[in-house]
């Protein structure tokens, strides 16, 4: 299963923001599970870096980006995704549109975010919180 992680999930882990940290960290640990392939975008990494740098300093934030990038695939966010976002009249927040189309074009089946309402326009990808994703997909014994 291909899973796209929104910036707020990454920020929750990098900055140890409770109560999100617990479920977000469990979610990131799925990178070692062959049933799941975790994705994010360069846009999400940039947002996560911004907050991690404020909390931990530049050097530590860069180390964290390297570590994340070794375990999470980075979905392409280029011309195709920009045009799709800009031409979709339902998309009001450009950054959310970029994330959605990066996830869609990477064939992700779910976007995990703590701001489900940001992806109100999603008609092809399931949108779940970290808690709901773990409950639905990762805690099963199959």
What tens digit of pLDDT does each residue of 71-113 get?
999 999 999 999 999 999 999 999 999 999 999 999 999 999 9
CA distance 70 to 89: 35
Q: Say if CB 105 and CB 76 are below 8 A apart.
A: yes
pLDDT tens per residue across span 21-47:
999 999 999 999 999 999 999 999 999
Q: Which helix (H) or strand (E) holds 38?
A: strand 37-41
Question: Distances in Å between the alpha carbon of 56 and those of 24, 49, 61, 119?
Answer: 18, 10, 6, 30
Chain-centroid distance, C-alpha 5: 2
Tokens 């990762």 sit on residue:
138
Q: What are phi and psi of 41, to 5 degrees?
A: -125, 165
Record the pTM.
0.94
Report the percentage of the chain scoring pLDDT > 70. 97
- 4 Cα distance to chain centroid: 5
pLDDT at 141 over 60: no
């Amino acid at each position: 299963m291909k899973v796209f992680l929104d910036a707020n999930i990454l920020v929750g882990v990098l900055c140890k923001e409770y109560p999100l940290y617990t479920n977000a960290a469990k979610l990131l640990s799925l990178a070692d599970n062959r049933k799941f392939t975790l994705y994010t975008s360069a846009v999400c990494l940039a947002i996560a870096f911004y907050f991690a740098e404020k909390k931990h300093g530049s050097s530590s934030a860069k180390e964290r980006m390297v570590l994340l990038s070794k375990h999470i695939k980075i979905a392409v966010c280029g011309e195709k995704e920009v045009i799709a976002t800009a031409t979709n009249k339902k998309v009001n927040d450009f950054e959310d549109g970029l994330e959605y189309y990066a996830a869609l074009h990477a064939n992700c089946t779910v976007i995990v975010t703590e701001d489900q309402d940001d992806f109100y326009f999603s008609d092809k990808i399931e949108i779940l919180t970290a808690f709901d994703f773990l409950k639905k997909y990762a805690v099963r014994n199959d």
